[in-house]
Amino acid sequence: MSKKRELIYYIPNIESNKKDLQYVHDVTSLTLGIGSGILTLESYKGFLLYIFGYTAVNLLFYFVCCNKKAASFFRKPFHEIFLEDILSDMPGFVMMWCLTYALVR
Amino acid sequence: MSSFAFFLIGGLLLAHSGYSSYELHQFAKEFGTELKSIPSDITLETIAGIMIVVIAAVGSINKASKLSINNEIVPPQNRYLKEIEMKKATKEHETIGINDYQGFESRISFIDIQKKRNEFSDWIKKEKHD
């Protein structure tokens, strides 16, 4: 018999937390896109800004919103906060980057 | 409300730095000079704008207090996110007295108000007679 306790989750709160995290990620990726367009960054520099900025915002989210107890708000905290959305938010970032770059240049 | 102010300030900073960058590039194009790098004031303004907008986004997901069924204001368990463990998540519902599915359980829009009121007035009349 395994002594491991099985946790029961409340699904609506999981959805709500995911929605909040998604909102923060969306705003972050679009704003970073605007920023790198204004600074007229090119090639890998823009992606570096994206990765560093995104990770910095995730750390802010982890320390401020989760209060360092991310396990009580997300099922897979590290994966969900830091890794899962970084690629799926990249198209939005590139879109805003191109748009502001074209407007500024 | 405060997060709206932050969004506004950050947006204005971004717009201003964007316009500055646009003017700089137009100037460089006009005089045929090659821009080596963006001046540091535009860079700093852009970074400040990004930071303010992001802080506004993080701050704007906070949860409001709720009014319990006993007419007391119940502050949220956590300021930003909701507990996902069942026993902790339902604790809040117990203090408030209603749950997330109250709308489905009581079906307010399907209640026949006139019938309920008639029943109530009949009951009142009957009570007064007795």
Residues of A with Cβ-Cβ distance to B40 under 8 angstroms = none
Domain assignment present for residue A67? The answer is: yes
Contact B86 A38 (CB under 8 A): no
Confidence of residue A26 (pLDDT cuts 50, 70, 90): very high
Contact A73 B83 (CB under 8 A): yes
Interface of A with B (CB under 8 A): 7-10, 12-14, 16-17, 20, 23-24, 27-28, 31-32, 34-35, 37-40, 53, 57, 60-61, 64-67, 72-75, 100, 103-105
For the cut 70, the answer to whether the pLDDT of residue A2 exceeds it is: no
Domain assignment present for residue A4? The answer is: no
pLDDT at A3: 64
Looking at this predicted complex, what is its ipTM?
0.89
d(CA A105, CA B51): 23
Dihedral of alpha carbons A20, A22, A24, A26, sign: negative
- Residue B24 dihedral angles phi and psi, to the nearest 5°: -60, -45
Q: Centre a 10 Å sphere on the Cβ of residue B10 and count the other Cβ atoms it contains.
A: 21
Q: Is A9 helix (H, G, I), strand (E, B) or coil?
A: strand
Q: A48 Cβ partners below 8 Å, 6+ apart?
A: none
- The total of structural domains in chain A comes to 1
Q: Which residue in B18, B53, B61 is closest to A38 by CB distance?
A: B18
Domain assignment present for residue A1? The answer is: no
Among chain B residues, CA nearest to A16 = B82
Contact A104 B21 (CB under 8 A): yes
pLDDT tens-digit profile of B81-122? 888 888 888 887 888 777 777 778 778 788 888 998 999 999
The range of the structural domain enclosing residue A73 comes to 11-104
Domain assignment present for residue A70? The answer is: yes
Contact A8 B86 (CB under 8 A): yes
Angle between helices B40-59 and B2-31 (to 10 degrees): 160
Higher model confidence: residue B62 or residue A103? Answer: A103
